[in-house]
C-alpha cells in the first residue's frame, strides 16, 4: 500500500495522513488513516487508479479496475498504462495532462480503454492531480458506461433499421400527430405522390385528399379513429402533385400517452387505383353484357314477329299489286285514259317503295345478329367507292366530295361500308338544293380517341332534334321533301354500337350537319398488323 499525501488545501486529510498531531501517537494515527482510505479506495464501484504523474507508473488500483480491466494489481503496479496499452487512444492521456497543466477540470470525458483480453471499454473519465508524500500523482476515476453505450448503439441501430424499413418499404406510410399534421412520410409516399418531404411535413394530412374524401375523413373517420385508436381499409382519394387522383385504402393505428390520449399514429395507404379501375371496367362489362343479352332477347323476339309479318302479310300482296300494275300497263295501257295510266304508275311506284321499305327493315333487323369480323379497314378507299357510286347514279350533280387520305379504322369492312353508304348518301341527298354542294370525310380526335366524321353544307338541323336522328322511322320536321324511311341513320347507330363505339350528330339550321362516329380503331392493331 501507499501513504497518500493530499493537496495542502485539504487540511483535514492532510492532518489525518501526513501531519501527525500531538493528540495521538504518530504510528496509530497513520495506521488508522491508512485503513480508512484503503477501505474506501478498494470498495469504490467505479474504477479508481493512482499513477505517477511523471512517468505514468501505476501506484495503486482498486478492485473495480481488476474486475473490469482483467489485471491483478501485482500485474500493473510499477508499470505504466502506456506500457500495458490500456489507453485506446494514447493521445487522450496527453490531452488530459495538458488540461490539468492549464488548470482545467477533467470531468466525465468519454474515453476508450482496452482490457487485458483486448476488449474495449468506454468510460466517463475524471482526473485530479494530488500529492502523495511529496510526489505528484494522477488520481483517475472511470465510470464504465460500456453496457449503456452498447444499449444506445443497439437502440440506434434498431432505429436505423426501422427508419430504413419505414422509408424504403414499397408502401405509402405516414405518421400524424394529435393535430393531424404529418410528422413523417416514407420515400415511397413521396415518390408516388410526387412531393419532396419539405413540401408535406407539418401540413394537415387531409390537405392531400379530394374534397369529398376530406369531408369524409374530417366528419366521420378521424373522430372515430381518435376515439378507438385504429381504422382499417378506409377508402380515400388522394391528389398527386400533378393533379392526378389515386384511389387508396388507408389503415392506421394510434400511439397513446399515459393519459390515453392519441399523440401519434402510423398509417399505411395501399394504391388500389388500377384495381378499382379494373373493377369498374368489369362492372361496366357486366352491365353491357346484361344489356346486350336483354337486347338480343328482345331483338330475336321482334325479328321473329317481323319476319313472319313481312313474309306472309306484306310482300305477297305487294308482289300481286306490282305485277297487276305492270300487266294493266302492258295489256291495256293504250286503251286507258292518261289519268288512269298515271294512277296505275303511282300504284306501281308505291308498291316498289313499300317493298324497298321492307328490304330496309329486313337489313336493319339483321344487324342484331351480324357479328363484326374486325380487321384494319381503309376508310378513305371505302368513302371514294361510295362517292363514285353516287356520282354514277346522278351524274348531273356537281358535288365537291373531299375525302382525306390515310384514314383507317379497325372494324368489319362490309358493315363500315354500310355506315359510309348511309352517312355520305345522307349528305348527298340533303345537299341536293345547294348550288355548291360540299361533302367532307376525314378523321379527328375526341378526347384521347380517334373519331371519323362526314360533314356537309346542307340545310342542317336543330340540335334539339339530334337524338331523333338515330331513332327508326323518325323524320325531322321540315325534311318531308327529302325521300327516305328514317332507317339509314338507325342502321348506322346499330352498326357502330356493335363495334363498341358511338355515333352522334352536330349541326345548326342553315349551317350544315356533321355526323361523328367512333369504333374500336384506337384499341385495335396498327395498320401494319391489318
Q: What are phi and psi of 500, to 5 degrees?
A: 80, 15
CATH number of the domain at 375-529, please? 3.30.565.10
> What ranges make up the beta strands (E) of 447-530?
449-456, 502-507, 513-518
Sign of CA pseudo-dihedral 118, 120, 123, 129: positive
* C-alpha cell, 22: 500531538
* Per-residue exposure over 469-505, b if at least 16 CB sit within 10 Å of its own CB, e if not: bbebeeeeeeeeeeebbbbbbbbbbbbbbbbebebbb
Q: What pLDDT does residue 368 have?
A: 55
Q: What pLDDT does residue 248 have?
A: 94
Nearest by Cα to 265 from 233, 236, 213, 229: 229
Q: What are phi and psi of 106, to 5 degrees?
A: -105, 105
* C-alpha cell, 50: 493512482
- Is 1 exposed, middle or buried, given 0-12, 13-18 or 19+ CB atoms closer than 10 A? exposed
List Cα–Cα distances, 368 to 173, 281, 300, 373, 393, in angstroms.
Answer: 53, 24, 8, 14, 30
* C-alpha cell, 78: 510499477
How many residues does the structure list for the chain? 530
- Residue 523 carries which DSSP code? T
Rounded distance between C-alpha atoms, residue 39 and residue 89, angstroms: 31
* Number of alpha helices (DSSP H) and beta strands (DSSP E) in the chain: 15, 17
Spell out the long-range contacts of 70-74 with Cβ–Cβ below 8 A and sequence spacing 24 or more.
70/115, 70/116, 70/117, 71/115, 71/116
Q: What pLDDT does residue 360 have?
A: 60
Q: What is the DSSP string of 408-460?
A: EEEE-HHHHHHHHHHHHHHHHHHTTT-TTEEEEEEEEEETTEEEEEEEE-S--
Rounded distance between C-alpha atoms, residue 29 and residue 23, angstroms: 9
CB-hemisphere CA count at 13 Å for 485? 15
CB 269 within 8 A of CB 238: yes
Q: Tell me the pTM.
A: 0.39
pLDDT tens, 256-293?
888 888 888 889 999 999 888 888 888 888 888 888 88
- Is 519 exposed, middle or buried, given 0-12, 13-18 or 19+ CB atoms closer than 10 A? buried
Q: What pLDDT does residue 34 have?
A: 65
Q: What pLDDT does residue 482 have?
A: 47
Low-confidence ranges of the chain (pLDDT < 50): 1-24, 477-478, 480-482, 484, 521-530
Nearest by Cα to 497 from 364, 393, 406: 364
Domain ranges of the chain: 44-150, 169-271, 280-366, 375-529
CB 267 within 8 A of CB 251: yes
Percent of the chain having pLDDT more than 90?
Answer: 40
Q: Which fold has domain 44-150?
A: Beta-Lactamase (3.30.450)
DSSP strand pairing (399-403 vs 437-446): parallel
Give the CATH superfamily of 169-271.
Answer: PAS domain (3.30.450.20)
Q: What pLDDT does residue 521 have?
A: 44
pLDDT tens, 73-99?
999 999 998 899 999 999 998 899 899
Q: What is the DSSP string of 130-177?
A: EEETTEEEEEEEEEE-HHHHHHHHHHHHHHHHHHHHHHHSSSEEEEEE
Rounded distance between C-alpha atoms, residue 410 and residue 522, angstroms: 8
Sequence-ordered alpha helix ranges (H) in 70-145 = 73-76, 91-101
Is there a shared CATH topology between the 44-150 domain and the 169-271 domain? yes
List Cα–Cα distances, 50 to 121, 136, 220, 345, in angstroms.
Answer: 19, 10, 70, 140
Q: What pLDDT does residue 112 have?
A: 92
List Cα–Cα distances, 418 to 21, 149, 238, 412, 422, in angstroms.
Answer: 133, 86, 47, 10, 6
Cβ neighbours, 10 Å, residue 441: 24
Helix 413-430 / helix 379-393 crossing angle, nearest 10 deg: 40
Amino acid at each position: 500500500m501507499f501513504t497518500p499525501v493530499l493537496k495542502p488545501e485539504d487540511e483535514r486529510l492532510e492532518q489525518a495522513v501526513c501531519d501527525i498531531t500531538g493528540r495521538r501517537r504518530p504510528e496509530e494515527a497513520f495506521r488508522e488513516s491508512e485503513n480508512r482510505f484503503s477501505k474506501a479506495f478498494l470498495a469504490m464501484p467505479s474504477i479508481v487508479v493512482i499513477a505517477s504523474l511523471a512517468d505514468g507508473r501505476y501506484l495503486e488500483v482498486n478492485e473495480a479496475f481488476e474486475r473490469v480491466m482483467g489485471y491483478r494489481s501485482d500485474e500493473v503496479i510499477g508499470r505504466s498504462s502506456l506500457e500495458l496499452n490500456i489507453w485506446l487512444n494514447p493521445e487522450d492521456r496527453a490531452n488530459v495532462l495538458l488540461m490539468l497543466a492549464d488548470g482545467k477540470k477533467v470531468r466525465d470525458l468519454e474515453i476508450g480503454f482496452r482490457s487485458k483480453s483486448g476488449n474495449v471499454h468506454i468510460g466517463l473519465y475524471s482526473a485530479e492531480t494530488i500529492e502523495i508524500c511529496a510526489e505528484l500523482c494522477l488520481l483517475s476515476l472511470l465510470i464504465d458506461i460500456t453496457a449503456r453505450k452498447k444499449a444506445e448503439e443497439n437502440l440506434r441501430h434498431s432505429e436505423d433499421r426501422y427508419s430504413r424499413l419505414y422509408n424504403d418499404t414499397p408502401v405509402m406510410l405516414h405518421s400524424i400527430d394529435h393535430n393531424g399534421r404529418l410528422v413523417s412520410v416514407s420515400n415511397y409516399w413521396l415518390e408516388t405522390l410526387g412531393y419532396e418531404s419539405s413540401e408535406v411535413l407539418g401540413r394537415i394530412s387531409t390537405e392531400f385528399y379530394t374534397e369529398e374524401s376530406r369531408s369524409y375523413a374530417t366528419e366521420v373517420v378521424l373522430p372515430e379513429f381518435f376515439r378507438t385508436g385504429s381504422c382499417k381499409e378506409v377508402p380515400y382519394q388522394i391528389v398527386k402533385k400533378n393533379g392526378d387522383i389515386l384511389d387508396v385504402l388507408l389503415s392506421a393505428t394510434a400511439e397513446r400517452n399515459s393519459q390515453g390520449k392519441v399523440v401519434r399514429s402510423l398509417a399505411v395507404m395501399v394504391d388500389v387505383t388500377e384495381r378499382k379501375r379494373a373493377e369498374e371496367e368489369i362492372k361496366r362489362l357486366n352491365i353491357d353484357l346484361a344489356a346486350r343479352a336483354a337486347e338480343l332477347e328482345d331483338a330475336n323476339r321482334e325479328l321473329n314477329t317481323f319476319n313472319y309479318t313481312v313474309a306472309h302479310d306484306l310482300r305477297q300482296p305487294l308482289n300481286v299489286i306490282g305485277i297487276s300494275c305492270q300487266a294493266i300497263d302492258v295489256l291495256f295501257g293504250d286503251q286507258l285514259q292518261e289519268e288512269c295510266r298515271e294512277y296505275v304508275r303511282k300504284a306501281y311506284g308505291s308498291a316498289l317503295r313499300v317493298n324497298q321499305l321492307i328490304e330496309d327493315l329486313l337489313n336493319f333487323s339483321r344487324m342484331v345478329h351480324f357479328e363484326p369480323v374486325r380487321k384494319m379497314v381503309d376508310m378513305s378507299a371505302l368513302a371514294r367507292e361510295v362517292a363514285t357510286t353516287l356520282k354514277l347514279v346522278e351524274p348531273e350533280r356537281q358535288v365537291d366530295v373531299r375525302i382525306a387520305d390515310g384514314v383507317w379504322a379497325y372494324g368489319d369492312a362490309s358493315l363500315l361500308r354500310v355506315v359510309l353508304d348511309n352517312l355520305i348518301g345522307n349528305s348527298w341527298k340533303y345537299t341536293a338544293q345547294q348550288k355548291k354542294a360540299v361533302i367532307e370525310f376525314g378523321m379527328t380526335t375526341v378526347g384521347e380517341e380517334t373519331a371519323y366524321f362526314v360533314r356537309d353544307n346542307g340545310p342542317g338541323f336543330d340540335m334539339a332534334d339530334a337524338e331523333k336522328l338515330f331513332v327508326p322511322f323518325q323524320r325531322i320536321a321540315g325534311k318531308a321533301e327529302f325521300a327516305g324511311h328514317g332507317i339509314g341513320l338507325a342502321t348506322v347507330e346499330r352498326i357502330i354500337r356493335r363495334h363498341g363505339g358511338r355515333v352522334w350528330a352536330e349541326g345548326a339550321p342553315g349551317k350544315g350537319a356533321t355526323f361523328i362516329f367512333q369504333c374500336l380503331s384506337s384499341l385495335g392493331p396498327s395498320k401494319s398488323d391489318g
